[in-house]
Amino acid sequence: MTTGSSRHGSGRSSEGERRVLAVVLAGGIGGIIVLILVFLLRAESSEDSSEITGKAFAPAPATDLEAAPLGQFRASFTDVARSSGIVHAQSTGATGERLLPETMGSGVSVGDLDGDGDPDLLLADYGGVPRLYRNDTTPGGPMRFTDVSDGSGLEAVTGTTTSALGDIDGDGRLDVLFGRVGGDPLYRNTGEMTFVQTEVLGIGWTTAAGFFDADGDLDADLLVASYVDWSPDLDRQVDFKLDGLGRAYGPPTGFPGTDLKLFVNDGTGFLSEESEARGLQIRRSDRDVPVMKALGLLLVDIDRDGDIDILVANDTTANRLFLNDGSGAFSEDAARLGVAFDLDGNATGAMGVDFAREPETGELLFAVGNFANESSSLYRQRDGIAFRDESAISGIGFPTRNPLTFGTLLLDLDLDGLPDLVQVNGHIEPEILRVQKGQMYRQSAQVFRGVDEVGRFRGVGVEQLDDLARPIVGRAAASGDLDGDGDYDLVLTRLDDVPLVLRNDLDPDGGDVLSIRIRGRMAAAGGEGVRLDVTDAEGEVLWTGELSRTRSYLSQSQPLLLLGVAGRTFPLQIRASFPGRDAITRSIGSAGAIIIDAPGSEE
């Protein structure tokens, strides 16, 4: 009592109290020093291992991204959707109930569906029916697309979220699986842009799917990923609300998780579901329920052993990485290999995902677009098969924190030899500005230019991007050379609106670009999973990586390599490695369009 009265009366402490305080402070400072030393020792020990367990400590940047000024970003984009003939607005199907599927959008697939060598467009439509656009662009002319949906056999499909393209029966034509909220119908391509439904595979809310050779027998198997176990009644029971808005579009946390579904092809086109037997169904440690809430899907050889592995980007739950043993048996290893969580050990609101490889080492780079108020994730493979989260030092960390990102692509937009990062943004809540300052419903896409090395980026100003920077409620993002001029064009879908068909106005000289396409059947149709290695006459590796359709968000892109080769020493060596088949090597003396036929693809 006396000590307390003295402190409050004089504002000073007694000598005894000062001694006690000094001891407490000294102990606290000592404890902090011990923690710092433990932290540094753990970080140092993590550098000695080629495999990272749990969250990894990012190394110091190899270069100073701001050290040298960059010239003008040479790629720019013009929306030619309406002028090229694409006028269909993809519908959310919203009725005013604020049901979760209305927020997620409808996807796009870019692929040669009529076999004439140029990429066509297939637009999913959750609130309507899909639209099929034939590419009628002539060489050197403006983009032209013709709506051939009527009479295609696709007129009765409803509730579609995405689609996947692959040659299921080995006839050389791309068949189509439609992902839906409901059963997923499979359509066989009968030629001339017409399709016949053959079966319905599973029931769920499919958000990503892809054809690939899972078991090494050279045919096209099918992987299907779903978001959450959803129904309108369950959504109404969850009844998510925001202060000041009432009922609103909520997160997936109130809904049960899902399982991957793997449909194995018997070689004739008959598919059997074998996900559990193949190790693709995983459960919570505390109870027997599925754990995945998948939005992004990659099919890529992660451990570089010649077969295709699986990376799944999950919304608010851990990402999952399944390694293939070569026979189609998978083991889940995301946490040990460092891609399950972000640098802080948290699961993110993961949406779209894409990958690139470092040419000299073949090491992978994964980019994951995340929810608003979360930086995008950038996982870099280092000295083995494990990854580090390097988003904070890559140049994308802070600039990607505010937007809500869906579509995500890594591709060389300006053909300078380094992959650029494209992020398509847009919020889920139309009135978000009323409850979160600084958030907008419509948001501009972002482009981060590759600089210095693979995995290092610098933001490109919106004034350089033209129509790509237009604020939209963006969702899917896909790529392809739609007009055949040697650069990557983009297709971005948006809610309740016509997609943006973005012509890349880079317009490279034909002698400065190497274009490589794969022509094949079954698993090799279009080059899915085929690895390309390109070296110049001096032995420098210009590019390495797999071609892939299945990437980004709700999307399938044209499996195509466009490589800027101006100033390179010819002849160039191209090595195409086909899973389960012999590699093909080609030597070319000049740039241009190259078509490589897969072994066994002849008529």
At residue 4, φ and ψ (nearest 5 deg) are -65, -40
Residue 309 to residue 324: CA distance in whole angstroms: 5
Residue 180 to residue 168: CA distance in whole angstroms: 19
Token representation of residue 271: 């598919």
- The confidence score (pLDDT) of residue 287 equals 87
pLDDT digits (tens, 9 = 90+) for 26-67: 444 444 443 444 333 333 333 322 222 233 333 334 344 444
Q: What distances in angstroms separate CA 58 from CA 55, 101, 391, 444, 460, one per listed residue?
A: 9, 36, 9, 29, 24
Residue pair 106/90 in contact (Cβ under 8 Å)? The answer is yes
Q: How far is CA 59 from the centre of its chain?
A: 25
Residue 346 to residue 399: CA distance in whole angstroms: 19
Q: How many CB atoms lie within 10 A of CB 487?
A: 24
Residue 306 to residue 530: CA distance in whole angstroms: 10
Residue 345 to residue 335: CA distance in whole angstroms: 10
Residue pair 313/348 in contact (Cβ under 8 Å)? The answer is no
- The confidence score (pLDDT) of residue 68 equals 56
Residue 300 to residue 553: CA distance in whole angstroms: 16
DSSP state for residue 237 in the 8-state scheme:
H
Q: How many CB atoms lie within 10 A of CB 532?
A: 19
Residue pair 494/473 in contact (Cβ under 8 Å)? The answer is yes
Q: Mean pLDDT, 10 residues at a time, over the chain (603 residues)?
A: 34 40 44 41 33 32 50 94 98 95 98 96 97 96 97 95 96 96 96 95 95 94 97 94 87 95 95 96 89 97 94 97 96 96 95 96 96 96 93 95 97 96 97 91 98 93 95 98 97 98 94 95 88 96 96 97 96 93 93 92 56
At residue 271, φ and ψ (nearest 5 deg) are -115, 135
- C-beta pairs of 171-178 under 8 Å, 24+ apart in sequence: 171/521, 172/115, 172/521, 172/525, 172/601, 173/113, 173/115, 174/111, 174/112, 174/113, 174/525, 174/526, 176/109, 176/113, 176/122, 177/201, 177/209, 177/211, 177/222, 177/224, 178/124, 178/130
Residue 570 to residue 251: CA distance in whole angstroms: 53
What is the widest separation between alpha-carbon atoms in the chain?
101
Burial class (CB in 10 A: 0-12, 13-18, 19+), 589: exposed
What sign has the CA pseudo-torsion 548, 415, 518, 133? Answer: positive
- The confidence score (pLDDT) of residue 6 equals 32
Burial class (CB in 10 A: 0-12, 13-18, 19+), 115: middle
User: Which residue type occupies 505?
Assistant: D
pLDDT digits (tens, 9 = 90+) for 353-365: 999 999 999 999 9
Residue 380 to residue 377: CA distance in whole angstroms: 10
CA triple 365-370-373, angle to 5 deg = 130
